[in-house]
Structure 1
């Protein structure tokens, strides 16, 4: 790679000044004060009117660093060591250590000391505090650029007080320009070492009650319409270093400016087992302490604070003109929020969005661990545990690295790994950020990977299932597919996708589809809520103390237990709706069978035993039944919250397994009682067409609903009288049977006569081109597919349309 030369044309009028206050500095001054300081100055000088608070401070001129090296006669020795590294006479560790040691022993001139001391005293006067505590941050002249972030390559020093400690911190910042990871990073990015200079930022220290990281896109897939926030108690270093598993929040940006909406689509509590706080010791200005039970169980930000930070993120992104990576803090005294850093995001925002990589496991085995997934890839290999980067030489190429956490010193080791698993950390921890940049799949925040996984154990690390990554026992086969989105043809028939889980839904944001044709909320209930809703409405009916305790722990923080169900279902549905907004998202109300409901926590106390649950109390018949009516109203309340409070009016409600028109009327009445009335606030209600009665009486169902969605599996089962799960009758179970096709053609014809839309959800159009042609010939409005089938099915449908025309 050709060496890049960072900007070297500072304003000559400013260049002679050692100190530059943030309010007189902006993004044009990167060559003068480095990327980090230029960005802080830009926000203070240009964005205060937007209400964005940034702690005040000053920066040293990058020329001070050059003068420091020159006056201490260090340029020649540094060049010699770098040449030794290039020639192979020194290794990386030797070179970095030798250069850092030389710089650390350098001295400032009296003029330089005086300039820094005067600025520090002026800062103390401004804040009204003697020996104010400051954060001392490195800011390189080739840093926080849109094409190269250099994040974490140089050091920061927190809770520094007094001029002597400040000068020492400045020296250590200068030295950190030659950490091992910084040397490697510059080489890989093509930056000449000695053309990069370093400014030191001295910023008022926020004594954080809580702090964290914020991105103006989804860092796992580049979805641009969300703000992602991570937070933990105390100072923010624990998140950046990955020593805690933080809380996670996500907000949908396009609805933020409409103040009547609160589009918070994810709230997930992290374990937050420890926090970093101020120390009174000059030798150790910060220390790590354990959090208490209350802190671990509480979210670090209120909904209002999450929304406020997200609005700031949107304004900052708009000002800079690119996706941003920001750090925030909440002051423990004033309770005010601050932005303490902002830089361009340099991984997802630079990816080729025309190509979509898809990974799929071909087998399954026992799940050993779960954590936050980084990326969407799959890796297999043997476990190799390392607790210190000093052991890098022992690590075999291609092994899966298992460790407690990583920091920037681990980067050379991480490059050798095929996958990475950590005990602690979140999606914005060091391990996650570097893994994305290296394109190495990782699972972070597993809590106990170093205890569960032993050296040499063969495992499969999968990030292909969404936000939750899983570690499987053994080496599992998997397949990859690269889809060029430009090759997916446009079709007259709307192509939609099926969605089950909120986690990972943003993986498919690039697909050129017309919305979501089927979202099954029972998957959200079983995987994210876990409790039978009637157990929350009537906890007095639960006699088992163990079950009571589990429910109490899940619902802690909620004054009324049913609110736990409503909020978490609304978050899940809202996140799915956000992935396609404003395109339609059809949400099917719960369709568990009684045996499946019994598997939920507390379900044994509310479910009946049925001989044939497939044809028993399921779908619409539950919604007005005394055994479930109150729970169905909670489902409706969640949809109201997602549509009217969060703002996702693209949600269409769908009723499954509705046997009769009388049943349809009763269900619509219960929905209206719960605040979901067809036609009010634009609400559309669809019905699943999966029972012969739905076809036979299609004209009557069409007057009660706005659309039909054909459930080909149940319709085939009931038309042919075949148990869909029967292995012996599998050859007969075929949606292409003439009887089934006759039903499908009939309902499409009748529905269209009454102005209703008709769609179908299932794999048959993807697996069987002739079935796709049949549906197109019938004039079906939409075909909803699993996302990984869209490319192939679109080709079938386009060819069918072409032949028919």
Structure 2
């Protein structure tokens, strides 16, 4: 058997010969090249070559003796690993194997038309990426290796890295025999990503397991900064079901990371790299263009389909040619094995202000004493069950990460080493906080929460929390369409497992408040705001072609993300419904908002959209919705008009929408109205002529029917949607919609809070009930029981 195999001669069935990583690379070259997937040329040494190296140099006895001493407590992990590695590095690669490696290297250079071609030298273990065990990242990688001598030296060091402290510890924990795992070495043409960028891609959402997206991380320079968590990368999320639709670019999230550093080739020789600070312009610029993001996502889907399982990929862009490449592919080993029908939901019992925030890894909550460690040499001082606080982690940190109740880092994104290992260990982590090691102190009691979506929070003190195991197989089926209310795009994927029939309410103002933060009129008329706000707006929008594009881009992607989890079921998006005092709190907002004695029943909802004081801002909302439906491809989005007081006002709003490219009925556009003002019920027949559906807002309808300020503490005991007057309003609205043959649902709080109110709605024949996600399981059972009682 040869000691090396070129990738085109390797298939996925060759894992025992070349390890999981190299087998996957060979499979992609052989099978996916015709689909356009680009993989750098290269070859692999075989597992048999490794075993021959062990045998010729008599290393089996050294390994056995050293491991036995370690297991007997006669030697530390560090001393054991060091002794074995030194034995490897003192050994020699057998002549026949060395000759084949040199010949393969020369052949690779000839193919590429280069003499001493620069290559990456990576390990590929034969037990790699098994379900419940991932050896990825445990062995060393050597970049920018040139020349036969340097290549053989890198191969020797690659062999030795099979016995790093972290690798020994991992195999001991997983029960793998140290001599049962062999090492293949991948020798692959280096893509000049030092002149462009690189990163990783997963064919699912790494935190929730949502399978319908590709999640991509990107940074400038060589990809080690992303993998090792040294940098806060860009993040792109692509919706897979719409990738094949012509003219659609379904990039539903695009976040510009800080990217404070990048790794480049170092001058003066082979296998040398250097880390430098990025320029301010690079930090503000997105690494990949939309068409490149989509191309990568299509490749990722092709790889996933070919293997029939979720995948973890590494990619690189060549700065000389502008071409993208996949440089690694391996199975995703964490979310792929989790149940689609069972999950645990966590909730904090009280609200609190976080000390710091970052990317949430996992969905759990943990509390304990913080232990701030800046260097792995200090890990012996880490107490079991504490919360590890550090700058960033690499594989040397794995032994201490296993002992932590939670992890907090300054740097890294959701595809960094800290994130990947935390997921595998089932340990909640908040990564990329920017300042955890300077904000938190050793011994401080803290709580970390990853239970509210993509943003994780670290709180002072030991906060009370609860969790519940949810088994979706136990949920009953219902005739009533049961939907969910989702406001925050960062939490949209958290509830994808729920058997919801769509999104019954997506609040646009929540996206504006959290993702945009600027009053739309301040973007259109910056001369009217203070100098301080103008400066802030310039800084926040500087990466966009115009301030208005900042608004449209962020809003459209936020809406798309809310619409994605239950596609193609409908996603009902409510137009902005800030009150004037709430609008005034947006950046620049005070220059455009009047002061009102009672904003709750003032200049809000529909009355703003056609008014000269806001119609240009409303046009931006319409542009965003048009982009969501036509450019991003989410034609399941239904637009809903809030707080529409009269049929005449409805006509004005629909006309304003049509002027901005959102004509009811065109391209399948449906427009609903909130049923929350008594006039909506009294004149239901007139409103039904103008809209495709009603959605009852129980809070405002209760407030205006009973004449009670819903925010009044004094009158809180009287505020109840189950009051007979409110129920008669609801009953009348349902009957009117059925007479008009249009749909009616409810998206208000009442059915989530009161199962008996949900049962009342079923009895009245409502078409749909939209619930808050955390009350979905409880309330769907009440709905089914009510349907059963009716027979």
Q: TM-score range by the shorter chain?
A: over 0.9
Measured against aligned partners, the alpha-carbon deviations of 1:742-788 in whole angstroms (never above 9, x if no partner) come to 00000000111001111112342243332222111110111111101
Q: Which residue in 2 is equivalent to 1:328?
A: 315
| Inter-partner Cα distance in structure 1 for 2:241 and 2:340 | 20
Of 97, 109, 112, the match for 2:94 = 109
1:25 has 2:10 as partner: yes
Secondary structure, counterpart of 2:184 in structure 1: strand
Of 730, 748, 769, the match for 1:762 = 748
Pick which of 145-154 and 22-31 moved more: 145-154
Q: Which residue in 2 is equivalent to 1:368?
A: 355
Pick which of 620-629 and 76-85 moved more: 76-85
The Cα shift of 1:283 comes to 7.2
Counterparts of 1:470-481 in structure 2, within 5 Å, are 470-481=457-468
* 2:144/2:270 contact within 8 Å kept: no
Q: Which residue in 1 is equivalent to 2:662?
A: 676
| Inter-partner Cα distance in structure 1 for 2:438 and 2:271 | 30
Measured against aligned partners, the alpha-carbon deviations of 1:391-429 in whole angstroms (never above 9, x if no partner) come to 122111111111000000100101111111101100000
1:265 has 2:252 as partner: yes
Measured against aligned partners, the alpha-carbon deviations of 1:617-671 in whole angstroms (never above 9, x if no partner) come to 0000000111110111110111110011111111110000000000000000000
* 1:766/1:796 contact within 8 Å kept: no
Of 239, 247, 250, the match for 1:252 = 239
Secondary structure, counterpart of 1:69 in structure 2: helix
The Cα shift of 1:207 comes to 1.5
| Inter-partner Cα distance in structure 1 for 2:346 and 2:132 | 27
| Inter-partner Cα distance in structure 1 for 2:218 and 2:308 | 25
* 1:149/1:344 contact within 8 Å kept: no
The Cα shift of 1:131 comes to 1.1
| Inter-partner Cα distance in structure 2 for 1:389 and 1:593 | 52
Pick which of 19-28 and 658-667 moved more: 19-28
Q: Which residue in 1 is equivalent to 2:171?
A: 186
The Cα shift of 1:607 comes to 1.0
Measured against aligned partners, the alpha-carbon deviations of 1:572-600 in whole angstroms (never above 9, x if no partner) come to 00011111100011000000000100111
| Inter-partner Cα distance in structure 2 for 1:166 and 1:452 | 44
| Inter-partner Cα distance in structure 1 for 2:696 and 2:433 | 40
Measured against aligned partners, the alpha-carbon deviations of 1:252-306 in whole angstroms (never above 9, x if no partner) come to 0011011221111000011000000001234761010000001000000000100
Q: Which residue in 2 is equivalent to 1:575?
A: 561
Counterparts of 1:201-600 in structure 2, within 5 Å, are 201-208=186-193, 209-282=196-269, 285-542=272-529, 544-600=530-586
| Inter-partner Cα distance in structure 2 for 1:221 and 1:331 | 32
Q: Which residue in 1 is equivalent to 2:594?
A: 608
| Inter-partner Cα distance in structure 1 for 2:549 and 2:146 | 47
Of 58, 65, 83, the match for 2:68 = 83
TM-score normalised per structure 1? 0.97
Counterparts of 1:698-777 in structure 2, within 5 Å, are 698-777=684-763
The Cα shift of 1:44 comes to 1.0
Secondary structure, counterpart of 2:179 in structure 1: helix
Measured against aligned partners, the alpha-carbon deviations of 1:104-138 in whole angstroms (never above 9, x if no partner) come to 11112322222111111111111111211110011
Of 39, 58, 61, the match for 1:73 = 58
| Inter-partner Cα distance in structure 1 for 2:503 and 2:532 | 39
The Cα shift of 1:191 comes to 2.1
| Inter-partner Cα distance in structure 2 for 1:410 and 1:769 | 48
1:47 has 2:29 as partner: no
| Inter-partner Cα distance in structure 1 for 2:506 and 2:305 | 33
Secondary structure, counterpart of 2:690 in structure 1: coil
| Inter-partner Cα distance in structure 1 for 2:497 and 2:45 | 44
The structure-2 alpha-carbon separation of the partners of 1:613 and 1:767, relative to structure 1 and needing over 3 Å to count, comes to closer
The structure-2 alpha-carbon separation of the partners of 1:302 and 1:164, relative to structure 1 and needing over 3 Å to count, comes to same
Secondary structure, counterpart of 1:503 in structure 2: helix
The Cα shift of 1:800 comes to 0.9
| Inter-partner Cα distance in structure 1 for 2:590 and 2:736 | 42
| Inter-partner Cα distance in structure 1 for 2:754 and 2:655 | 40
The Cα shift of 1:210 comes to 0.0
| Inter-partner Cα distance in structure 1 for 2:2 and 2:752 | 68
Measured against aligned partners, the alpha-carbon deviations of 1:303-353 in whole angstroms (never above 9, x if no partner) come to 010000000001010111110000000001001000000000000010122
| Inter-partner Cα distance in structure 1 for 2:469 and 2:722 | 30
| Inter-partner Cα distance in structure 1 for 2:712 and 2:94 | 86
* 2:192/2:319 contact within 8 Å kept: yes
The Cα shift of 1:381 comes to 1.4
* 1:761/1:784 contact within 8 Å kept: yes
Secondary structure, counterpart of 1:717 in structure 2: helix
The Cα shift of 1:86 comes to 2.3
Gaps of 5+ in 1: 1-15
| Inter-partner Cα distance in structure 2 for 1:387 and 1:64 | 39
Gaps of 5+ in 2: none
| Inter-partner Cα distance in structure 2 for 1:799 and 1:125 | 73
Counterparts of 1:87-166 in structure 2, within 5 Å, are 87-166=72-151
Measured against aligned partners, the alpha-carbon deviations of 1:700-751 in whole angstroms (never above 9, x if no partner) come to 0000001111111100110000111111111111101110000000000011
| Inter-partner Cα distance in structure 1 for 2:466 and 2:225 | 36
Of 605, 614, 627, the match for 1:641 = 627
Aligned length: 789
Secondary structure, counterpart of 2:468 in structure 1: strand
TM-score normalised per structure 2? 0.99
The Cα shift of 1:181 comes to 1.6
The Cα shift of 1:471 comes to 1.1
Of 785, 788, 791, the match for 2:771 = 785
* 1:207/1:278 contact within 8 Å kept: no
* 2:698/2:749 contact within 8 Å kept: no
Measured against aligned partners, the alpha-carbon deviations of 1:229-266 in whole angstroms (never above 9, x if no partner) come to 00000000000000000000000001101122111100
* 2:150/2:270 contact within 8 Å kept: no
| Inter-partner Cα distance in structure 2 for 1:86 and 1:784 | 58
| Inter-partner Cα distance in structure 2 for 1:146 and 1:342 | 15
The Cα shift of 1:549 comes to 1.1
Pick which of 297-306 and 554-563 moved more: 554-563
Measured against aligned partners, the alpha-carbon deviations of 1:134-162 in whole angstroms (never above 9, x if no partner) come to 10011111113455331111111001111
Secondary structure, counterpart of 1:193 in structure 2: coil
Q: Which residue in 2 is equivalent to 1:13?
A: none
